[in-house]
Amino acid sequence: MKCIRQIQLLLLLIPTGPLSLVAQDCVDYHKLGDCMMDRQKGYKLYSQSKSVSMDPTDTVEFNIVFYGQKDYIFSFCTHGKLYPIHYVLLDPESDKVLYDNEKDRYIESLGIGFDVTKTLTIRVDVVARKASSEEIEEYVGCLGLLIQYRNYTRKKVNLQM
Amino acid sequence: MQSRPYKIWLLVLIIPALLVGGCKSNKGKRAPGLLDDSETAEIVDRIETIKQVYHLSPSPAEMLSVIDVADLSFDTGLLNPRGNMDNYLDTKSRTMGLGVYITDLAYAALFGRHEETLDYLEVVRNMAEQIRVTGAINDELIEKARKNVEYIDSLFNISNEAFINMLFFCERNDRPNTVVILSAGAFVESLYLAVNLAGDNGQTDYILQHLADQKYALDNLMTFAESMKEQDPNVAAVIEDMKPIKEIYDGITVVAGTTTVETEKTAEGQPKKLVIGGGSKPTLSKREFEKLKKNTIELRNKLISN
């Protein structure tokens, strides 16, 4: 009996805070976090939406295939301390920067129409303006990229070869 | 016996220490506050130290949905018969088989074929359970499909949701190798369906361009697979299987072009919008198409017959 009591005490004493950190699951963060506030009627969720865990010293790159003749909406989200989110769209063939959200005060949502099918590299880091320097070294949070799409509503461009 | 209480108390001390050591600690932090511009610049400079790269591929439903099915007819003969499910006995053939079946599910859903959609949803659930990808297709999803048989869009979303649930499960359970093999099976089946749909139906050129565009999806898939091949011999075997298809895509003409970016006006409350056009464009000649069709059919038939 004494032994059982001691085991019960042991379970009570194990701190639960660190456990929640260990078990942090970012897999579907884009379907739970702020990103969902951008959900638009008439748009479908793109399967290449992605969430990852990252800290302020990380840079993450997503190589994503976008089909032509479709409109997409990109929505980025993270935890409060990691904002603002900085992302750059790169043409993987030329490594040319096509867009940098720093010039638009780090906007978190962006619509993009693709005339033709294309792969884009989306390079993301978090500026973490509200984080202290220690937190920048140590804080790990989730970053979500929700992508929605719909077929072009405007006139189709000629795709004939 | 006397030492047991001592051991238990030792555990009390050690377990929390291990837990704290296994994650990021917040000790000694200063109160958070806004940083000034120079501090922000310093942070930005330090970024780019670590780079995680993810190569992502579209779902089978998304790959197929590019094809306008309005002028096409559904062909049951293109589906992998449900009975073949019992022939897949090893992990690789079961996982690739699951990729094939989930694509057939998407194909049936895209054409609004109620019966086939429900049948293949059940097959996909069974196959997923065989490879221990559990919970991706639950009773709720099947019930939702039953209730929405009238709505093509809903069936499409359900088939897509099933695939995404599988990706989530694999990611949570650290099984990227399963994602590679599953995606390879799905890729081959969607190519198989597309090459068979590219008949004499007025959409041939459009489907040919769609097939050529799959170069991007294949490149991403193979890059992902290459990063996994050392860890799983099944992934290495899949890369070998896919080699003839990859070689065809590596050999096709890519017409060079400059990517253009324009800003489009949007309504108030809508996000800023860019339109990306131009850039290089892969093209598939009739001869390359015939070669791709032959190799795809061969590979797909090998996969489904195991």
Residue A112 lies in a domain: yes
Contact list, A13 vs chain B (CB under 8 Å): 12, 16
pLDDT at residue number B138: 87
**pLDDT of A154 over the 90 cut:** no
> What does the pLDDT look like over B182-211, one tens digit per residue?
999 999 999 999 999 887 555 678 889 999
pLDDT at residue number B206: 83
Better-scored residue on pLDDT, A8 or B226: B226
> What does the pLDDT look like over A105-114, one tens digit per residue?
999 999 999 9
Indicate the range of B59-73, B160-174, B276-290 predicted with least confidence.
B59-73
Tell me if residue A144 falls in helix, strand or coil: strand
For residue A136, give the nearest of B43, B48, B283 by CB distance.
Answer: B43
pLDDT at residue number A10: 47
Q: What percent of chain B has pLDDT over 70?
A: 82
With an 8 Å Cβ cutoff, are B261 and A104 in contact? no
With an 8 Å Cβ cutoff, are A54 and B276 in contact? no
Indicate the range of A10-19, B210-219, B267-276 predicted with least confidence.
A10-19
CB A90 within 8 A of CB A96: yes
Average pLDDT over residues B60-84: 89
With an 8 Å Cβ cutoff, are A140 and B51 in contact? no
Using a 10 angstrom Cβ sphere, with 0-12 exposed, 13-18 middle and 19 or more buried, the burial of residue A88 is: middle
With an 8 Å Cβ cutoff, are B274 and A10 in contact? no
**pLDDT of A63 over the 60 cut:** yes
- Give the distance from residue A55's alpha carbon to the nearest chain B alpha carbon, in angstroms: 10
CB B48 within 8 A of CB A50: no
With an 8 Å Cβ cutoff, are B58 and A119 in contact? no
pLDDT at residue number A5: 61
With an 8 Å Cβ cutoff, are A18 and B223 in contact? no
**pLDDT of B68 over the 50 cut:** yes
Q: Quick one: pLDDT band at residue A17, thresholds 50, 70, 90?
A: very low
Average pLDDT over residues A120-128: 96
Token pair in block for residue B114: 């109620």
Most confident of A5-9, B16-20, B86-90, B109-113: B86-90
Question: What is this model's ipTM?
Answer: 0.81
Average pLDDT over residues A22-39: 84
Q: Quick one: pLDDT band at residue B136, thresholds 50, 70, 90?
A: confident
**Interface contacts (A, B; CB < 8 Å):** 221
Q: Quick one: pLDDT band at residue B148, thresholds 50, 70, 90?
A: confident
Which residue of chain A has the CA closest to B22?
Answer: A22
Closest to B180 in 3D by CA, of B142, B141, B210, B221: B221
Q: Quick one: pLDDT band at residue A16, thresholds 50, 70, 90?
A: very low
For residue B275, give the nearest of A115, A128, A140 by CB distance.
Answer: A115
Average pLDDT over residues B138-142: 88
Q: Quick one: pLDDT band at residue A83, thresholds 50, 70, 90?
A: very high
- Give the distance from residue B188's alpha carbon to the nearest chain A alpha carbon, in angstroms: 17
Contact list, A62 vs chain B (CB under 8 Å): 54, 56
**pLDDT of B19 over the 80 cut:** no
Better-scored residue on pLDDT, B152 or B239: B239
CA distance B245 to B235: 16
pLDDT at residue number B50: 61
**pLDDT of B27 over the 70 cut:** no
Query: Structural domain tally of chain A?
Result: 1
Residue A33 lies in a domain: yes
For residue B276, give the nearest of A65, A118, A139 by CB distance.
Answer: A118
**pLDDT of B16 over the 80 cut:** no
With an 8 Å Cβ cutoff, are B43 and A56 in contact? yes
pLDDT at residue number A3: 55
Residue A13 lies in a domain: no
Residue A9 lies in a domain: no
With an 8 Å Cβ cutoff, are B272 and A107 in contact? yes
- Give the distance from residue B286's alpha carbon to the nearest chain A alpha carbon, in angstroms: 11
CA distance A19 to A139: 15
b/e per residue A148-161 (b: at least 16 CB within 10 A) = bbeeeeeeeeebee
What range defines the domain where residue A61 resides? 22-150
For residue B271, give the nearest of A44, A91, A111 by CB distance.
Answer: A111
**pLDDT of A55 over the 70 cut:** yes
Token pair in block for residue B96: 């690739």
Contact list, B44 vs chain A (CB under 8 Å): 86, 125, 127
With an 8 Å Cβ cutoff, are B55 and A112 in contact? no
CA distance B2 to B8: 11
The CATH number of whichever domain residue A132 belongs to comes to: 2.60.120
